[in-house]
Structure 1
Amino acid sequence: MFILAQVATMNRDMQGARNYFERALEVAQEPKVVAWSHIYLGRIFDLQQSREAALNHYRAAKTAGGSLPEAKAAAERGLEQPYEPPASPQ
């Protein structure tokens, strides 16, 4: 599910990505998958202007990814400020 969610994200299919990340959370047991699914969901909610939902996912990611430095850092960035995608190259 996580891979399908990433593909949907790359294809800018945010609703599909959201569905796949939510399904990944239902079945995943690996902390890395759980943490990054929450991070990506937080980013999707930030892009949809749903900051409170985004914050909930960043908090969950920080809890799930506490021993994963990259996931913890990404979750903390999400808690500090809303996600903005990188600027497209000109």
Structure 2
Amino acid sequence: MVLDSKHTGAAGGVTAVTSTVGNGVGGLARTVGGIVGAAGRGIGDTVTGVTGEYGKPVGNAISSVGNGVEDGTARVAKGVERAGEGKKSW
């Protein structure tokens, strides 16, 4: 982390702490999202494998939900990290 002239003294210390917290929370959210996404894909594949073509729509839906959770948490994580750096998320 590099502090520029805008972030010196107390402001620099606050930025360092919020950046660290933001990165920690963002990393944790990304980890949880990755776990949920992988689990959703695994369960979806299992449902499809066990039920064949009849269960394929259900298996695909479960996989899609897992992927959606993973993508959503990745976006939230990025926003939290950017907020911790004092940047806007958009």
Q: Answer yes or no: same fold by TM over 0.5.
A: no
More helix by share: 2
Whichever of the two has the greater Rg, that structure is 2
